[in-house]
Amino acid sequence: MSYRTWLTKARSVHDIGGEFYAPKGGEPWDDARDQRASEKWQRHARQPVPVEEAFRTCFGGWMHDSTVLGIERLGSRFRVRLNSIKACDFASYLAQVIGADPVDRRYRVDLILHDVSYVRAARHDRLGHLRFADWERLSGSEFLGDWFFEQDGRLQWIAQIYDRLPRGSALSDDVFLMVDCARATADDRSAEALVDAYGAPAARLYRDALAGRDDRPIDFDVFSSSKTEDYIRRRMAVHHLTPSNFRRGK
């Protein structure tokens, strides 16, 4: 019997995970059901992300809020190209710390799915029913997060992408991209863009942050809060760096 992914049978937004609760038509909102849906999702989200260690800072929600630069299928591979919000925020705070003018760069990260057997995208209606969406037209949209399921040794990767529709639309602004694949990797070129913008020391500090170096774990908030400036200053001291070590022009 040939393999067939369960994604082909997904009919409701509730089938594909996430913190989704949609009452049936005419029914009032049920806080208890909403809470149960949230708790069920949190249990799933705590499971290890099934990708190699080197790629775990690119999956499992880490690319939240990044801009989608393009999506394409390349033979048996599927690629989602993002402009990393983590690197963008880190670069902005670095510029403030070293007293440099901000440098506009794209901090590219490619999420790559291998040996792809199925691709589908859908929005949902007010009852949660999935409706066809065109994944090839999502450039410029906002990547909200992603998660995995596993079936028969393969991965089912689902990404939630915000792509706003005209006001009054009957379908959701969120698009759910569903891909069945053998494995997931990433090609993260954001550090290279930091080198181009601010010099090699910038990439060193950024890699420190991704690796959690500083005797404490690094979470997503570190890349988008005032904690980032404090972190950069501490790591500069560790590496004996001063603002003069960085490239400061455009």
> In terms of domains, do 129 and 232 share one?
no
User: Does 1 fall in a domain?
Assistant: no
> In terms of domains, do 172 and 106 share one?
yes
Instruction: Tell me the whole-structure pTM to 2 decimals.
Output: 0.89
Please count the helices (runs of H) and the strands (runs of E) in the chain: 5, 9
> In terms of domains, do 146 and 226 share one?
no
Over the stretch 61-113, which tens digit does the pLDDT of each residue have? 899 999 999 999 999 999 999 999 999 999 999 999 999 999 999 999 999 99
> In terms of domains, do 128 and 220 share one?
no
End of a domain among 188, 218, 237?
Answer: 188
Residue range(s) defining the domain that contains residue 208: 190-245
Over the stretch 196-236, which tens digit does the pLDDT of each residue have? 999 999 999 999 988 877 655 455 566 667 788 888 999 99
Query: Cα–Cα distance between 218 and 86 in angstroms, integer?
Result: 12
> In terms of domains, do 149 and 208 share one?
no
> In terms of domains, do 231 and 113 share one?
no
> In terms of domains, do 145 and 97 share one?
yes
Query: Cα–Cα distance between 147 and 150 in angstroms, integer?
Result: 10
End of a domain among 188, 208, 230?
Answer: 188
Neighbours of 94 (CB within 10 A): 25
C-alpha distances (whole Å) from 224 to each of 71, 123, 145 are 25, 29, 16
User: Does 250 fall in a domain?
Assistant: no
The count of domains in the chain is 2
> In terms of domains, do 67 and 153 share one?
yes
Q: What 8-state DSSP symbol labels residue 12? A: B
End of a domain among 188, 210, 228?
Answer: 188
> In terms of domains, do 218 and 147 share one?
no
> In terms of domains, do 109 and 219 share one?
no
> In terms of domains, do 213 and 166 share one?
no
User: Does 129 fall in a domain?
Assistant: yes
pLDDT band at 115 (very low <50, low <70, confident <90, very high): very high
More confident residue, 27 or 110: 110
> In terms of domains, do 108 and 79 share one?
yes
